[in-house]
């Protein structure tokens, strides 16, 4: 499991630190907190110890702490250092290389990646000194998240509000993704890739439908990672609460049949990644009017009315069997609650895809918030080569990290277009 050292500065936004710890853990990351003396006025070490499940570090000059875990060791143990909230004071110290407390000493002693989420009064943020320090920190390789515009605790409006814990956690996880972050190392320039995501809704009547727990987060993260790697991405999404990812063309659909039609309309593509949790069945008929309780069916009062179901088309299997326009690389997902690899391998063969990403979607899968709806995933990648299954099992990681991993693998599968001019051909 990757580890974040969270340095909490002394600003009012420090009250969001426990929620930030929770969001980082939901991304599959381990968190250790370090509080500045001023931060202790805003958030209690005890609550941070409870949410992080680890000791909280506070003072450079605490001799016991130095003996047990010095500032060097603190940074050595972390994969990344996140400063949130990053106060004007902490930013100034880090920009100048000052080291007079545990937080600033750790920042100076580390060779790990540093991210800062600034939060301060709008005038402090806009002050030339802070802007100078910001420019220096960026030059030194520090990643900056935010600040956002908005109402601030001091009653003013403008830039200075700390970014939302969920966004900071997602960005941190993206920066920690294997094989370089956000698939920046992966090159899929010029490849056309189709991604399906989210659930489908199968209407029963004008107000009711059959659905499932899929949030669409994994598919959206994959679409974003592929686009970041230079691919031309078309995302066909069922109903979700998510914003469209950057640089991705979107088509919104409701039912499995709509999704299939949208997929067919966007062929040919070089690759397709089918993450959607397509409903396997739909009501045989969608009633024109709302079904009433106690409605008479065949002269009998029926409540609830029985639901006749018919099977939906299997979009992945149809693509896998297609004589025309079958993508050169077809990636399926297998949502399983038991016998993960056996079921996933059987699906790969039955639906004739090239790779399948299997995940355990049981509610007690050990992932906070569950796989369906949560921010983390633990996947197994099965790829066939010479009819022999290759199985790679990955530990819990954020959905962004899974996306970056897949983008990197897909880029490795294809020969970069600009180097060969060999458009559309897999290696």
Residues in contact with ligand CTP by the rule CB under 6 A: 196, 256, 274, 276-278, 280, 312, 314-316, 332-335, 347
Choice between 170 and 253, CB closer to ligand CTP? 253
Residues 6+ apart with CB under 8 A from 314: 278, 351
Closest-CA residue to 8 (of 65, 49, 53): 49
Residue 114: CB minimum distance to ligand CTP, A: 38
Choice between 128 and 364, CB closer to ligand CTP? 364
Residue 264: CB minimum distance to ligand CTP, A: 12
- Looking at the DSSP assignment, which residues form a beta bridge with residue 248? 233
Residue 136: CB minimum distance to ligand CTP, A: 47
Residue 328: CB minimum distance to ligand CTP, A: 17
Choice between 184 and 280, CB closer to ligand CTP? 280
Query: CB-hemisphere CA count at 13 Å for 250?
Result: 17
**Does residue 286 carry a catalytic annotation?**
no
**Under 8 Å between Cβ of 58 and 34:** yes
Closest-CA residue to 292 (of 282, 302, 277, 284): 302
Ramachandran category for residue 349: left, alpha or beta (phi over 0 → left; psi -120 to 50 → alpha): alpha
**Hey, what are 178's tokens?**
């294997």
Residue 334: CB minimum distance to ligand CTP, A: 5
Choice between 156 and 339, CB closer to ligand CTP? 339
DSSP 3: E
Residue 219: CB minimum distance to ligand CTP, A: 9
Choice between 8 and 278, CB closer to ligand CTP? 278
Cβ atoms within 10 Å, residue 341: 16
Q: Compute the distance between CA of residue 28 and CA of residue 152 in angstroms, rounded to an integer.
A: 30
Choice between 11 and 332, CB closer to ligand CTP? 332
Q: Which residues of 241-278 are buried (b: 16+ CB within 10 A; e: fewer)?
A: eeeebeebeebebebbbbbbbbbeeeeebbbbbbbbbb
Q: Compute the distance between CA of residue 273 and CA of residue 218 in angstroms, rounded to an integer.
A: 11
Which of 33, 154, 286, 353 is catalytic? The answer is: 154
**Under 8 Å between Cβ of 296 and 392:** no
Residue 260: CB minimum distance to ligand CTP, A: 8
Local structure of 115: helix, strand or coil: strand
Q: Compute the distance between CA of residue 260 and CA of residue 319 in angstroms, rounded to an integer.
A: 10
Q: Compute the distance between CA of residue 403 and CA of residue 377 in angstroms, rounded to an integer.
A: 10
User: β-pairing, 113-118 with 148-151?
Assistant: unpaired
Question: Which stretch of DSSP H or E encloses residue 94?
Answer: helix 88-96
Choice between 56 and 278, CB closer to ligand CTP? 278
- Annotated catalytic residues are 154
């Amino acid at each position: 499991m990757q580890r974040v050292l969270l340095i909490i500065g002394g600003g009012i936004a420090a009250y969001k630190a426990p929620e930030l710890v929770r969001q980082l853990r939901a991304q599959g990351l381990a968190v250790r907190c370090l509080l500045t003396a001023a931060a202790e006025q805003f958030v209690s070490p005890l609550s941070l110890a409870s949410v992080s499940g680890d000791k909280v570090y506070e003072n450079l000059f605490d001799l016991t702490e130095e003996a047990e875990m010095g500032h060097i060791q603190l940074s050595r143990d972390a994969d990344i250092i996140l400063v949130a909230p990053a106060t004007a004071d902490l930013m100034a110290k880090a920009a100048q290389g000052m080291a007079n407390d545990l937080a600033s000493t750790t920042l100076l002693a580390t060779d790990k990646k540093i991210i800062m989420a600034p939060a301060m009064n709008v005038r402090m943020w806009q002050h030339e000194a802070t802007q100078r320090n910001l420019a220096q920190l960026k030059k030194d390789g520090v990643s900056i998240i935010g600040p956002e515009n908005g109402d601030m605790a001091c009653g003013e409006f403008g830039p200075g509000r700390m970014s939302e814990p969920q966004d900071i956690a997602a960005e941190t996880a993206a920066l920690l993704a294997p094989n370089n972050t956000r698939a920046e190392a992966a090159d899929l320039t010029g490849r056309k890739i189709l991604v399906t995501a989210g659930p489908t809704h199968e209407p029963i009547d004008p107000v009711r439908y059959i659905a499932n727990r899929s949030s669409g987060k994994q598919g959206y993260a994959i679409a974003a990672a592929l686009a970041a790697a230079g691919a031309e991405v078309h995302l066909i999404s069922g109903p979700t609460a998510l914003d469209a990812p950057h640089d991705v063309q979107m088509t919104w659909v409701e039912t499995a049949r709509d999704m299939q039609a949208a997929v067919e309309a966007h062929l040919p593509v070089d690759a397709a990644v089918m993450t959607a949790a397509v409903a396997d069945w739909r009501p045989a008929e969608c009633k024109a009017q709302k079904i009433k309780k106690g409605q008479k069916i065949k002269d009998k009062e029926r409540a609830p009315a029985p639901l006749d179901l018919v099977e939906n088309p299997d979009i992945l299997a149809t693509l896998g069997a297609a004589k025309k326009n079958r993508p050169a690389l077809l990636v399926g997902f297998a949502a399983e609650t038991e016998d993960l690899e056996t079921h996933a391998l059987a699906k790969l063969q039955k639906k004739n895809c090239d790779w399948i990403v299997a995940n355990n979607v049981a509610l007690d899968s050990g992932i906070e918030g569950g796989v369906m709806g949560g921010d983390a995933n633990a996947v197994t990648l099965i790829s066939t080569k010479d009819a022999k299954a290759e199985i790679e099992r990955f530990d819990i990681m954020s959905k962004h990290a899974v996306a970056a991993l897949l983008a990197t693998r897909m880029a490795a599968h294809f020969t970069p277009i600009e180097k060969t001019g060999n458009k559309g051909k897999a290696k």
